Amino acid sequence: MPTPSSRRAPDSTLEILYEDDWFVVINKPANCLSVPGRGPDKQDSILYRAEQQFGEAFAIHRLDEATSGLILVAKTHECQKRMYAHFREREVKKEYRALLRGKLLGQRGEVRKPLRCDWPNRPRQIVCTDEWSKDSITFWEPMAYEGNTTRVRLTPYTGRSHQLRVHMQSIGHSIIGDEFYDPEYSEADPRLLLHAYRLEFRHPFTKAWLAFVAPCPF
């Protein structure tokens, strides 16, 4: 099985979709860290590249390394602080696209299952109802059926680690290419087919309502 580092995106550039004095919106490639990890081989990341380009950069939120799509990076501490508040109060609307195993039937639905870290198998997460678990809610809506797969729109109400991936696995429709949660995962899978497609939020300074889309690459 290839390790995340062996699949890591080698390019050191940033695909910037929007930039102003306070933050940038970046289209993150799959298999690229959001922030630096531990060790010299895990320093390359969206945040590191932003620091190299802008001098200062501050993380607002994260995407899993294997997930592609929209990510925000602040240029100032004040912007980071204000955007943290937007995310904490669930004032940021997020939409993902994914390709699932099997046919997910129904016009729309939701998954309400609490999650926590699977400590012996970190960073994996599990559905659990013990005192350490956190409520987690995901809304889903099939867009198209492609053979024995489902192209789906996913909207997380909460933002737990690996939430979309574990929730889809829990209803029997794992995201294709998920080496943690897809029981049919194969090294032939090109990547995790999960993409952060849309972000909407109120600008932390101008108060204008903003919407950004990164076209799905699969």
Q: Are strands 149-156 and 93-101 parallel, antiparallel or unpaired?
A: antiparallel
Is-above-0.95 flag for pTM?
Answer: no
- Give the C-alpha distances (Å, rounded to integers) separating 67 from 53, 72, 122, 126: 22, 14, 18, 19
Q: Read off the amino acid at residue 102.
A: G
* pLDDT, tens only, 15-32: 999 999 999 999 999 999
Is residue 12 scored above 90 in pLDDT?
no
From 64, 118, 178, 189, the catalytic residue: 64
List the beta bridge partners of residue 142. Answer: 152
Annotation says 64 is catalytic: yes
Instruction: Give the structural domain span for 118.
Output: 4-213
Task: Judge whether 218 lies within some domain.
Answer: no
The CATH code of the domain that includes 166 is: 3.30.2350.10
**CA distance linking residue 52 with residue 6, whole number of Å:** 23
* pLDDT, tens only, 140-199: 999 999 999 999 999 999 999 999 999 999 999 999 999 999 999 999 998 999 999 999
Provide the domain count of the chain: 1
Task: Judge whether 62 lies within some domain.
Answer: yes
Q: Are strands 23-28 and 68-74 parallel, antiparallel or unpaired?
A: antiparallel
Q: What is the DSSP letter of 29?
A: P
